Amino acid sequence: MGKVITYGTFDIFHEGHYRLLERAKQLGNYLIVGVTTENFDDSRGKLNVQESLMKRIDNVRNSGLADEIIIEEYEGQKINDIQKYEIDVFAIGSDWVGKFDYLKEYCQVVYLERTKGISSTQLREASGGILKMGLIGYGRIANRFIVESKFVSGINVEGVYGLDPDSLKNFIKKHELAFYETDLDVFFNKVDAIYIASPHLTHYDYIKSSLVKGKHVLCEKPIVLSGSQAQEVFQLAQKNNCILLEAIKTAYAPGFIRLVSVVKSGLIGRIKNIDATFTKLVNGNIRELKAETAGGSVTELASYPLLAIIKLLGSDFEEIGFCSYFDETEDIDLFTKINIRYKNAIATAKVGLGVKSEGDLVISGTKGYVYVPSPWWKTEYFEVKYEDSGRNKKHYYKFEDDGLRYELAEFTSMIKKRNHQTYKLLPSESIAINSVIEKFISRINVKEI
């Protein structure tokens, strides 16, 4: 039979953890369990770990399944451990199929089927529980969201709602989810919180339906398509004692949060101008390029540059204008330049699906400026620059993979702490962003080029 080894964070120990260890134990006659340290979790992008290392070790020990427990502290340790302990089988959850194939050089690699759905245990009750999350939508971003969710402790994506049973069946099979539903009320009864990743025009109704049912909501940007609707849904969330958060991933990323703090501290003096650009070239029969699904550059991309502008200059606009290049057949903008005038500053946001430009961010002040290179919305590096280049300072921050884990970690933290708003993206800021998008949709001060 031989020795088996497996690894994990084992935070908020639940039935899924127990079953994985149980199946790993059956692969040999001696099971070694590696529990990750806080520093290693940070380095690999694991967020929101709630329990200490010693508590997590106790969780594994109390399962009665581990013959030996070790600590995982660094990248590459698995190879050393396999050789040191003369391991025959490396076992890990099927969430990571293919990820650890490189270990086949050293031992047998087995991917164990994950537990579909998490049941209550005494540990779960004592810890406050695992947040059961359901998805509305099963497109590209929903697929990325599930991958990213594996890096956030305290949540489990249970199932998905939609209208196409065949697509739903394929989706839950691919991601090993517990269920799919085409009945919205039944779906709500099976989950604690909702991630909305459906087309823009459906957000408003899905948010309201979820909140009325008492479900917390994380909704893709733009959360809705008007300022008044945004204000309405945030008020509804407050009324129903629910968390509502707009999923603009940049707002929750460590590098961007530090960028805002550095600029607001006065290091570059008074902000007088911001230029923020986000463009990407797309083509084909896709939602982003269709008027009937509220496609176009502004609805698809403007939330990001508007986030930077509103975070740094506020929402007390004096004048907003748009210059746009429209598709000749579809009534959508392929490129738009948004000009915003404040009392003491100006800002420009450029977005495009059919025009390419440098995706950087420049914040100009009376003492210096900050430059964030493309892609600035995945802020990993920025530089504070002065007339005297000897004073320049570079800042580096890691942005993990697609970045959706940051918004999900903030969302779960808000639920756990019962915080109805976060400084990282205030409801008033979401309302302001969607008010600007509404002006464009209403063709207020829009000029064609």
CATH code of the domain in which 70 resides? 3.40.50.620
In a shared domain, residues 413 and 348: yes
Question: Is the link from the previous residue into 305 a cis peptide, with omega within 30 of 0?
Answer: no
Picking from 9-23, 80-94, 99-113, 401-415, which range would have the lowest pLDDT averaged per residue?
Answer: 9-23
What is the average per-residue pLDDT within 391-407? Answer: 94
Q: 158: domain CATH number? A: 3.40.50.720
Which pLDDT does position 16 carry in this prediction?
A: 85
In a shared domain, residues 103 and 148: no
pTM of the predicted protein model: 0.84
Distances (CA, A) of 35 to 52, 74, 112, 397: 11, 11, 18, 26
- Residue 49: is its pLDDT beyond 90? no
**Domain final residue, candidates 74, 89, 112:** 112
Q: Rounded distance, CA 440 to CA 389, Å?
A: 40
Return all residues near 110 (Cβ < 8 A) that are at least 6 apart.
Answer: 27, 89, 90, 91, 92
Return the closest-CA partner of residue 302 out of 276, 325, 321.
276
Tokens linked to 238: 């407050």
Which pLDDT does position 123 carry in this prediction?
A: 35
pLDDT in tens, 206-248: 999 999 999 999 999 999 999 999 999 999 999 999 999 999 9
Name the residue range of residue 67's domain.
3-112
pLDDT in tens, 268-297: 999 999 999 999 999 998 999 999 999 999
What is the average per-residue pLDDT within 102-115? Answer: 91
Query: In the chain, how many domains are there?
Result: 3
In a shared domain, residues 238 and 188: yes
Give the chain's largest Cα–Cα span.
Answer: 75
In a shared domain, residues 243 and 257: no
User: How would residue 1 be classed by pLDDT, with cut points 50, 70 and 90?
Assistant: low
Which pLDDT does position 12 carry in this prediction?
A: 85
Which pLDDT does position 50 carry in this prediction?
A: 83
On whether residue 293 sits in a domain, the answer given is yes
The mean pLDDT value of the chain amounts to 93
User: How would residue 118 be classed by pLDDT, with cut points 50, 70 and 90?
Assistant: low
Cβ atoms of 339 and 346 within 8 Å: the answer is: yes
Return the closest-CA partner of residue 12 out of 403, 411, 412, 422.
412
What is the average per-residue pLDDT within 350-361? Answer: 98
Q: Rounded distance, CA 204 to CA 223, Å?
A: 8
**Domain final residue, candidates 247, 275, 309:** 247
What is the average per-residue pLDDT within 116-140? Answer: 68
Q: What are phi and psi of 316, to 5 degrees?
A: -90, 70
Q: Helices (H), strands (E): how many in the chain?
A: 15, 20
Hey, which residues does 370 pair with through a beta bridge? 363, 384
Q: 342: domain CATH number? A: 3.30.360.10
Share of the chain above pLDDT 90, in %: 86
Which pLDDT does position 34 carry in this prediction?
A: 96
Q: Rounded distance, CA 205 to CA 218, Å?
A: 14
- Residue 122: is its pLDDT beyond 80? no
